């Protein structure tokens, strides 16, 4: 069964304290892995797509990496405005459906 | 911004009544999706469409139907609303002829069934 698991469920960081969020997946064939940011009361906002193991993408303080079994979202020197829920999703090679994890709720304290 | 508008944004309805949620897109994408988001479950696919009058079921389709009579509109109907369908509903699109790109989401509809 295709599955996506994110950890930790919640993370509190001091401003400037770097950390990583984890997304592990079990799918029959990976077409792509996606990271989203979701603010309260809003729809998920697309951040990154990763297609193959070893790939990395960066945007401001965020860097996403991919291995054959998991992805990491590294947050360097976070700011309070980085506070949000971060969602991971995978798309399989057999269809267009996305499988989402339950997210990591990140709080960055000034 | 992928030009997705959901309506209504909030709705309270009574158990047993039919409810229709609307998703409108302005960019003519072939693939459209309806998801629901619940605490502890993440986003789960209800139905999706790959063209006018072409739809298919997702993992949580029971109690829901969809219609797509125009490229720009994708309607989700709860035939007889139940309390278990209280949720936040998101519409999404993917780009390209095969739809195998990242998804872009609308702002969501918060539905409460009392």
What are A56-108's pLDDT values in tens digits?
Answer: 999 999 999 999 999 999 999 999 999 999 999 999 887 777 899 999 999 99
| Spatial distance between the Cα atoms of A40 and A24, rounded to a whole number of angstroms | 24
How do residues A2-59 score in pLDDT, each as one tens digit? 789 999 999 999 999 999 999 999 988 889 999 999 999 999 999 999 999 999 999 9
Specify the pLDDT at position B90.
Answer: 98
CB B58 within 8 A of CB B48: yes
Q: Is the pLDDT of residue B27 over 80?
A: yes
Asked if the Cβ–Cβ distance from A32 to B42 is below 8 Å, we say no
Taking the CA of residue A92 and the nearest CA in chain B, the distance in Å comes to: 9
Asked if the Cβ–Cβ distance from B43 to A41 is below 8 Å, we say no
Specify the pLDDT at position B87.
Answer: 98
- Residue in chain B lying closest to A47 (CA): B102
Specify the pLDDT at position B84.
Answer: 97
**CB contact, 8 Å: A105 with chain B?**
no
Q: Which residues of B touch A92 (CB under 8 A)?
A: none
How do residues B69-96 score in pLDDT, each as one tens digit? 999 999 999 999 999 999 999 999 998 7
- For residue B54, name the pLDDT band (cuts at 50, 70, 90): very high
Nearest to B105 among A44, A91, A97 (CB): A44
The answer to whether the bond into B8 is cis (omega within 30° of 0) is yes
Which regions of B1-114 does DSSP assign to beta strands (E)? 4-7, 10-13, 19-25, 31-38, 42-51, 54-57, 64-70, 73-78, 87-94, 103-105, 109-113
Specify the pLDDT at position B1.
Answer: 60
Specify the pLDDT at position A98.
Answer: 87
**CB contact, 8 Å: B30 with chain A?**
no
Asked if the Cβ–Cβ distance from A102 to B90 is below 8 Å, we say no
Note the maximum CA span of chain A: 44
Task: For residue B105, count CB atoms less than 10 angstroms from its CB and return exposed for 0-12, middle for 13-18, buried for 19 or more.
Answer: buried
Average pLDDT, chain B: 94
């Amino acid at each position: 069964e295709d599955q996506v698991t994110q950890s930790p469920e919640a993370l509190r960081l001091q401003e400037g304290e770097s950390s990583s969020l984890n997304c592990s997946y079990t799918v029959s064939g990976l077409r792509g892995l996606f990271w989203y940011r979701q603010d309260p009361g809003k729809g998920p906002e697309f951040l990154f797509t990763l297609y193959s193991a070893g790939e990395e993408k960066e945007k401001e303080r965020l860097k996403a990496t991919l291995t054959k079994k998991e992805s990491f979202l590294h947050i360097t020197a976070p700011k309070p405005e980085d506070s949000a829920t971060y969602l991971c999703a995978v798309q399989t090679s057999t269809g267009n459906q996305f499988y989402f994890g339950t997210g990591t709720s990140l709080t960055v304290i000034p | 911004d992928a030009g997705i508008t959901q309506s209504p944004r909030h709705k309270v309805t009574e158990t047993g009544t039919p409810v229709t949620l609307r998703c409108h897109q302005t960019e003519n994408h072939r693939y459209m999706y309806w998801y629901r988001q619940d605490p502890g479950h993440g986003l789960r696919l209800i139905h999706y469409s790959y063209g006018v009058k072409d739809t298919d079921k997702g993992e949580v389709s029971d109690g829901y139907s969809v219609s797509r009579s125009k490229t720009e509109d994708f309607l989700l109907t709860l035939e007889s609303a139940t309390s278990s369908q209280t949720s936040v509903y998101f519409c999404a699109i993917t780009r390209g002829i095969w739809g195998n790109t990242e998804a872009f989401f609308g702002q969501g509809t918060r539905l409460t069934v009392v």
